[in-house]
Structure 1
Amino acid sequence: MLQQLKRFLIAGVGALVLVGGPVAAITPSPQMIEQFKNLPKAEQERIARQYGIDPSMLSGQATQPTIVNPEVVAPRNTGSTTEVVNQSETDAFNQATKTESQIEAREEELEKQLKRFGYDMFAGEPSTFAPVSDVPVPAEYMMGPGDVLNVQLYGKENKNFSLTVGRDGLVQFPDLGPISLVGMSFSEAKNFLTDKIAQSMIGIQANITMGELRSIRIFVAGDAYRPGSYTVSSLSTITQALFVSGGINEIGSLRNIQLKRAGRTVGTFDLYDLLLAGDASKDLRLQSGDVVFIPSVGGLVSVTGEVRRPAIYEIKANDTMADVLNMASGAKPGAYPEASTIERFSKDVKTVINVDLTQASGLSVKAKAGDLVRVKSTSTRIDNAVTLVGAVVRPGKYQYRNGMRLRDMLPSIWGDLTLNADLDYGLLVREINQRGDVKVIQVSVGKAISGDDSANIALQPRDTLMVFDYADRATLLEPVITQLRQQSRFGDAIKLADINGSVRFPGKYPITEGATIKDLLVAAGGLKEGAYTLSAELTRQNISEQTGVTVTHQQLSLQDVLLNDPSANIALQSRDVLTVRDLPDWQDTRWVTIKGEVRFPGTYSIQRGETLKHVLSRAGGLSEDAAPRSAVFLRESVKQKEKTELLKLSDELRREIAAKALTKDTPTVGYADAQNMLKELENVEVLGRLVVDINAIQLGIDEADLKLEDGDALFIPAQNQTVSVMGQVQHPSTHRYKKGFTFDQYLELAGGPRKRADDDRAYILRADGSVAMPGSSYWFSTDEEMQPGDTIVMPLDTEYKDNLTLWSQVTQIIYNTAVAVATISGL
């Protein structure tokens, strides 16, 4: 039943299409609508697509039809199109690449990415026919059967007629009878009818225009994208026929499109004339029965390199390199056409021909099929420029002028240099040959700008002036040092020297022309505070073919060097090392901090070897309310050691967890528990606490005293009359200190240990940071009397769930840190 209904509906729709002709949409009857609703949705969509029916009309939801222009040409489904690589990337590649194989591979890749010129114009395929009907009709248009003339009569009578040219060339004009227009153009027919009306119909004038145009049948043959027979407008030309047929396929010619009429070629059209020059004079108008024939492509030439339009071009016989260069829209400004090449197939090999595309001899070379023309780029090096880099306001390249000097580049300290520029040390890097080898000249920018003619060095083309600051010294020097290393050939000494010790910028520096020890000191930014000027050491390698290399150490007086004493300020040699010593017992200012219950808390400067007892005395000693047993002493070196140990502990914990996970007879720690434990450990912030006995120090016991280091901090809290109980107890809390109360009594005040507590490993964290562990001290017992500020820690029983003993270490670290932090934050 369903198949019969489908056949009936399709037949009805088809009949309406045939009877109604090319209308915009079909108006279905109510019976058709009801039958259409009973069909499956997929079948409804198929019928609507096939017969151009608006589905909303058949579903009973008629909407206002939307008028849209038909899509004549849809995009071709040819896959992705590779774009031509940016030529600037190619230049950068060629500059950076040194191997021949890599350059050849890059050139082959660029060649493969070239596209055929002109084929983008037809990057679509036809979908329907939309005749050209809204363009002006030229006067020379030849009238033919099917054309319509619109005639408007006005004057004594007002009438409008539409006259259709019949197959016999006649139009049936009311009141005038049949009129023959055979062989007439539109202009001739218009004038003829106007005269006829004026002679036959007195007092009436006529206005004649072109109405509907006839359609003609033409053929597109050869290498078209879709060859075949097409119905087009009588005003269509060769290019319009190409668009209707989808253009030209991959092997079709753009330059020899032929128009054949009655078996004879009546014209040829070169699309390059239209694409390159906008010349459509040979785009002939078509007549019924014409054949547009597209032959196969002729010779192809690839053009790549520094041209405006790299592509593959079709050539004709006798085309030259000048024609090819013109097709590619000429060379770019950065091209070097004098060194262009042609890769050409010759018998069974491929040859390369050098051509100068700036000379008539090179431009007149004939192009051959398969040629690959490469237009080379010019050098990126600038010949007549000097370069300014570093701590300057306007770095970059500047034009060189004859007689140019350093002060011409930098006339003002305030206007041309940055605030942190080094006025005493700069470098002038100068090329000395065509290989790019350089020599380095040390300059004083400040002296040159201030008017010292001896420092105002004359510049040369391709010089690079480097002005240093106090941050980019090593960065700017790196390429210079690298170049000096590379140009050291055949055993030549590398012109580099080292300076270390008490200078502002120790490191490796170029040995400039005539450089001395003083110049090296200036390059390193000068001496630091505390430098020992009476004696410095110069280490020198002496190379001899007979004795080999011998190393000597020479003592120099920097005072004499700075005074330009020739005996001390000697010339530098390659691989010299100058070591500048510090003054004996020299030290930078060291600071320690004392806070809390002292008479004069604050930050104190210390000298080497000064002890905690001495600094406490300078701070006025302890106040009456001080709790020396609760003092917290922090040291940076201890903090760094604790960080290292904590990382080791974390790694050990991970390994033990992994090992227990592989043990069959041991319960494993759950993944969540292990992650929480590691996370808690990683979040512990170490303080670097060092246990000190302030009371013993106050009594004068030397063994209790300690030497201070830079950054030490001592925190002495007020007297603390509390005892805290932490960890696995029923109620962790802090209690008022009661003299004579023992460990067990305070533990009872906290409700006693929990089920998971490890009471055998409970310990007391003393106020001074020391720990009393059970079994590790003969005097520790559960009836031990507690002291003010002590903390009882009841750890977790790590064997309750697993024998992971590192839990106890983690717990101890956490609790010890917490107690110290609480003490410091209370100050």
Structure 2
Amino acid sequence: MLRQVKKFIILGISAAILMGAQANAITPSPQMIEQFKALPKSEQERLARQYGVDPSIITGAGATATVVENPTVVTPRAEKNNVVDQSESDQLNQATKSESTVEAIEDKKENQLKRFGYDLFAGSPSTFAPVSDVPVPAEYMIGPGDSLNVQLFGKENNQYTLTVGRDGAIQFPNLGPISLVGLSFAEVRELLQQKISQSMIGIESNITMGELRSIRIFVAGDAFQPGSYTVSSLSTITQALFISGGVNQIGSLRNIQIKRAGKTVGHLDLYDLLLRGDASGDIRLQSGDVVFIPSSGGSVSVMGEVRRPAIYELKNNETMADVIRMASGLNPGAYPKASTVERFSNESVKTVISVDLTENAGLNTLVKNGDLLNVRSASSRIDNAITVAGAVVRPGKYQWTKGLTVADLLPSIWGDLTISADLDYALLVREINQRGDIQVERIALGRAIGEPKSHYNPQLNPRDSIIVFDYADREALLKPIIQKLREQSRFGDAAKLVNINGNVRFPGQYPITINADVKELLIAAGGLEEGAYTLAAELTRQQVSEQNGVSVEHVQLSLDRVMQNDPSANIKLQSRDILTVRTLPDWQDTRWVTIKGEVKFPGTYSIQRGESLKDVLARAGGLTNDAAPRSAVFLRKSVKDKEQLELSKLADELRREIAAKALTKDTPTIGYNDSQQMLNELENVKTVGRLVVDINAIELGIDSANLMLEDADALYIPPTNQTISVMGQVQHPSTHRYKQGMTFDQYLALSGGARKRADESRSYVLKADGSVQMPESSFWFNGGSAMEPGDTIVVPLDTEYKDNLTLWSQVTGIIYNTAVAVSVISGL
């Protein structure tokens, strides 16, 4: 039903539109109006928009109220993405660039320039409805079709709406026709008020403008949508441009013409409005006027360091100064002295002209059509600055002034330097020529600040850099200095770099400072470490001669004499020198061992090289009466590291053996999940580094049982253990109370005996001291010797049961033995 109603209404409205000049005589039928009203409001609005009909004509809503509103006269045009890639633009600032790179970037920047002013009309017209809410100025000329609102008050109160007829007169009640031809709104108001006051005694009046007449104008030339438009009688040139969508891509913004009765009566330069806000040329239109937009004249492209890079339209005899004003002036980083203009010569060849925009001659240069003005950038290098970096509170660039010193920039140790700043070693990096080559000078920063009048506080030059080091890291701050020294080494010259290694705080490579000697190199490296051998250090030097080539000599130096500034020892450094600082013979860092458990004085003891376990046990007061020396656990870091490495190798071998079994034609009896669980258990085992020791033999003084100690050794002596543990593939792994005389088989029986998967023939006893007693070396399987307190019986898994994986016995042994050692340690 709704579809039929819409069809009916559409046919009726279409017929009314197609009638052309007779449209004013056609009125919708009552049936059409009622059906239109029955439609939803959104559908009414859609039909009205589609066919350009005011819904109030059909619904009658306009008879009761008039709503003044500004319709949307333009919708956005489709725009291209003209975003400038700043990262590519910045490629011009790189240190090295090829000719093709420069040309490509310049061309891209030129292609991304927009025509100035055209984005003002970045839309297309959507309606021809006139704007009706514009205030009426006093000089507005009254004409046919305008209406006046006249309000009378005083002795009588009346209100009239009077329309100006085609003869230019209004019909005023009781006053007759009044001609308003050639009068402005101010003059009409004065005339009517005068006539009312003369003819109507005791009545005053208020006169305002009512509905304004519409006028028909033409927009021609290079407009976005040229044609005939109905606009308000108050419309100006710019409003006509907006209604028609503005100018197209070749239209002129600077020579818009108003033609009236075949004559040009006005010109509008939109640049006056856009650049200076001058709307004096935006004259009011009259009915029948033609807004003519000619094609644009010449143009100039402006790029580089201007505030508004764009393509600007030219008028006759405009200069570079005019173009710079169009571009809103130069950026602060511009270098106008070296500006260039690309111009086509008379032979149609592109040429480049240098223009100095700081001189009148350059500014007064006439601009030609097609010119490309490129304002170059100034150098990014700061000419009169001092750079402060490193372990300072406020790093950055500071102004250089004549006579400026290091202490002037960093006057306070506490206020300007970090806590970790090195007060003995800072560097002053200075440029020595226009090529940017540098030389390096050491600054004793503490003395420079503390003695500002001394030679320790040097005066600074422009572009100097002060690098303050700390006591944690020097490599990052030294890296760019070392790199620069290497780069400036030319024609076979050796870079001014030396090396220091050995027992110093910061070994490495350092720049050779002015008048550098061995002492300064020691200071650069942070000084000597504890244990440094000061009687003799070695300086390795390369001697280069064209006849003999390169020879190496080794010079022995006394660092004691170097620190005392003995000239014979504190020699000057040369490129590629290497200073090696030795360590004292037999020097060692403090070593510590730990003794816990059943000793009289457990704790951590410092040891010297060559000290034995017997010696430390004596220092710890010996064993207590409750000690179980056969159950002692001795741990060593080097053994732990070796065991962990071997464990990793074992895991790799087991993984390869599992993979090899999977590739054989025999069906493996071990599943994937079982093999992965086995590998995970092995990889998760953390070795303890247990070393078997015989404490009883050591106590008796047997030298072969004694052990030389290493750093981080640990001895754990548990109390007497009256238990026997049974673990592995038994029915009930458990710990049993020790009974003298009981044998291996009896303890195994107490744990329920071996499981089906057990390999009883490979069972063994892990003795309390960590040694292992294997079945082939024992006789307790045949009613043999009795067990001892603290022993552990281990029944391994049958490796044949696990598809002949021969490494299983090693895996289970490692797991069990580690578990026993950990349980002893954790019990203390």
User: Please, what TM-score do these two structures have when normalized by structure 2?
Assistant: 0.87
CA, structure 1 residues 325+796, in 2 after alignment: closer, same or farther (shift >3 Å)? farther
The residue number in structure 2 matching 1:352 is: 352
Structure 1 residue 535 displacement after superposition: 0.9
What is the distance in 2 between the residues matched to 1:503 and 1:100? 50
Query: Which shows bigger deviation, 119-128 or 349-358?
Result: 119-128
What is the match of residue 255 of structure 1? 254
For 1:343, the aligned partner's letter is E
Matches within 5 A, 1:170-569: 170-346=169-345, 347-451=347-451, 453-569=454-570
Q: Which stretch shifts more, 413-422 or 216-225?
A: 216-225
CA deviation after TM superposition for structure 1 residue 539, in Å: 0.7
Residues 7-54 of structure 1 show CA distances to partners (whole Å, capped at 9, x for unaligned) of 3575689899999x999xx99969986x989xxx9x999879868999
Amino acid paired to 2:325: N
Rate the CA distance shift 1:195–1:809 in 2: closer, same or farther, 3 A.
farther
Q: Distance in 1 between matches of 2:168 and 2:121?
A: 38
- Counterpart of 1:590 in structure 2: which amino acid? R
1:716-755 equivalence runs, <5 A: 716-726=717-727, 729-742=730-743, 745-751=746-752
**Per-residue deviation at 1:236?**
2.0
What is the CA–CA distance in structure 1 between the aligned matches of 2:334 and 2:481, rounded to whole Å? Answer: 30
Give how far 1:359 is off: 0.8
Q: Give the aligned residue type for 1:198.
A: S
Number of matched pairs: 806
Distance 2:763 2:553 in 1: 65
Counterpart of 1:264 in structure 2: which amino acid?
K
Distance 1:114 1:264 in 2: 37
Tell me the equivalent position of 1:152.
151
- Range 490-499 or range 165-174, more displaced: 165-174
Given residue 455 of structure 2, which amino acid in structure 1 is its aligned partner? Answer: S
Alpha-carbon deviations, 1:466-486, whole Å to 9, x = none? 222212322222111111111
Partner of 1:77, secondary structure, is coil
* CA distance 1:822–1:293, shift in 2 (3 Å): farther
**Partners of 2:518 and 2:801 in 1: how far apart?**
72
Contact 2:69 2:133 in 1 (8 A): no
Flag structure 2 segments of 5+ consecutive residues without an equivalent.
18-22, 56-66
CA positional deviation for 1:337: 0.9
The equivalent of 2:64 in structure 1 is none
- Alignment CA distance shift 1:341-1:789 (3 Å): farther
Residues 719, 177 of structure 1: alpha-carbon distance in 2 compared, 3 angstrom cutoff: farther
1:113 matched to 2:112? The reply is yes
What is the letter of the counterpart of residue 382 of structure 1?
I
Query: Per-residue deviation at 1:716?
Result: 2.5
Question: What aligned pairs does 1:47-66 form with structure 2 within 5 A after superposition?
Answer: none
Deviation at 1:804, TM superposition (A): 5.9
Q: Residues 533 and 136 (structure 1 numbering): CA distance in 2 closer, same or farther, change over 3 Å?
A: same
**Aligned letter for 2:610?**
G
Task: Please give the alpha-carbon distance, in whole angstroms, between the structure 1 residues aligned to 2:36 and 2:309.
Answer: 63
Counterpart of 1:137 in structure 2 is 136
Aligned-partner Cα distance in 1 for 2:680–2:242: 71
In 2: Cα distance, 1:511 partner to 1:91 partner:
36
Asked if structure 2 preserves the Cα contact closer than 8 Å seen for 1:218 and 1:291, the reply is yes
Residue pair 1:590, 1:711 contacting (<8 A) in 2 also: yes
Equivalent residue for 1:61?
none
| Post-superposition offset of 1:3 | 6.7
Aligned to 1:58: none
Does the CA-based 8 Å contact 1:661-1:668 persist in structure 2?
Answer: no
- Cα shift at 1:730: 4.7
**Unmatched tracts of structure 1, length 5 or more:** 55-65
Aligned to 2:695: 694
Letter in 2 for 1:478: K
Instruction: Report the Cα distance in structure 1 between the residues aligned to 2:802 and 2:129, rounded to whole angstroms.
Output: 85
1:576 is displaced (CA, Å) by 0.9
Asked whether the 8 Å contact 2:422–2:468 carries over to 1, the reply is yes
Offset of 1:457 from its aligned partner?
2.0
**Inter-CA distance 3–469: structure 2 relative to 1 (3 Å threshold):** closer
Shift in alpha-carbon separation, 1:746–1:465, aligned structure 2, 3 A: same
Q: 1:570 deviation in Å?
A: 1.3
Q: Report if the CA contact (8 A) 1:85-1:113 is conserved.
A: no
Contact 2:70 2:133 in 1 (8 A): no
| Aligned AA (1:457) | P
CA separation of 1:668 and 1:255: change in aligned 2, threshold 3 A: farther
Counterparts in 2 of 1:787 and 1:247: CA distance versus 1, 3 Å: farther
Helix, strand or coil for the counterpart of 1:573?
A: coil
Task: Give the Cα–Cα distance (whole angstroms) in 1 for the partners of residues 315 and 393 of structure 2.
Answer: 57
CA gap 1:723/1:330 in 2 versus in 1, 3 angstroms: farther
CA spacing shift, 1:36–1:373, aligned 2, 3 Å: closer
Is 1:773–1:780's contact at 8 Å kept on the other side of the alignment?
A: no
Q: What is the alpha-carbon distance in structure 1 between the residues aligned to residue 27 and residue 342 of structure 2?
A: 57
Cα distance in 2 between the residues matched to 1:714 and 1:695: 14
Whole-Å separation in 1 of the counterparts to 2:322 and 2:780: 105
Measure how far apart 1:552 and its partner are: 0.6
CA contact (8 A) 2:68 2:133 kept: no
Deviation at 1:708, TM superposition (A): 2.0
CA 1:69–1:270: 2 relative to 1, 3 Å: closer
Match of 2:59 in 1: none
In the alignment, the residues of structure 2 paired with residue 758 and residue 298 of structure 1 have an alpha-carbon distance, to the nearest angstrom, of 104
1:161, CA displacement in angstroms?
0.8
Offset, 1:751? 4.7
**Superposed displacement of residue 803, structure 1:** 6.1
**SS at the partner of 1:543?**
strand
The verdict on how the C-alpha distance between 1:747 and 1:431 changes in structure 2, with shifts beyond 3 A counting, is same
The reply on whether 1:706 has 2:710 as its aligned counterpart is: no
Cα distance change, pair 716–383 in 1 and its aligned pair in 2 (3 A): same
Alpha-carbon distance change, 822 to 44 in structure 1, aligned in 2, over 3 angstroms:
farther
When residues 180 and 565 of structure 1 are mapped into structure 2, their CA distance, relative to the original with a 3 A threshold, is same
Moved more, 401-410 or 565-574: 401-410
Residues 611 and 705 in structure 1, CA contact (< 8 A), matched pair in contact too:
yes
Distance 1:31 1:774 in 2: 110
Paired amino acid for 1:440 = V
For 1:341, the aligned partner's letter is T
Report the residue type matching 2:125 in the other structure: P
List per-residue Cα deviations over 1:248-297 (Å, max 9, x = no partner): 33333332333333443332322222221111111222233333333333
Query: Taking structure 1 as reference, are residues 168 and 555 closer, same or farther at Cα in structure 2, changes over 3 Å only?
Result: same
Q: Any conservation in 2 of the 1:91–1:377 contact (CA below 8 Å)?
A: no
Pairwise CA distance, 1:547: 0.5
Give percent identity, aligned residues only.
Answer: 70
The answer to whether the 8 A contact 1:301-1:312 is kept is: yes
User: What is residue 63 of structure 1 aligned with on the other side?
Assistant: none
How far residue 596 of structure 1 moved from its aligned partner, in angstroms, is 1.9
Separation of aligned partners in 1, 2:807 and 2:516: 63
Report the TM-score when normalising by structure 1: 0.87
- 3-state DSSP class of the match of 1:427? strand
Report deviation, 1:396: 2.3
Q: Secondary structure at the match of 2:195?
A: helix
In 2, the alpha carbon distance for the partners of 1:371 and 1:663 equals 82
In structure 2, relative to structure 1, the CA distance for the partners of 1:513 and 1:667 (3 Å cut) is same
> 2:669, 2:249 → 1: CA distance?
71
In 1, the alpha carbon distance for the partners of 2:633 and 2:695 equals 10
SS at structure 2 position matched to 1:366: coil
1:468-508 deviations in Å (ceiling 9; x for gaps)? 22123222221111111111111112111111111122111
Q: Specify whether residues 654 and 360 from structure 1 end up closer, same or farther in structure 2 by C-alpha distance, changes over 3 A only.
A: farther
Q: Per-residue deviation at 1:585?
A: 0.8
Instruction: After TM superposition, give the deviation of residue 374 of structure 1 in Å.
Output: 1.9
Note the C-alpha offset of 1:624.
2.5
3-state secondary structure, aligned to 1:532:
coil
2:162/2:171 contact within 8 Å kept: yes
Greater Cα offset, 496-505 or 228-237? 228-237
1:143–1:764 Cα change, 3 Å = farther
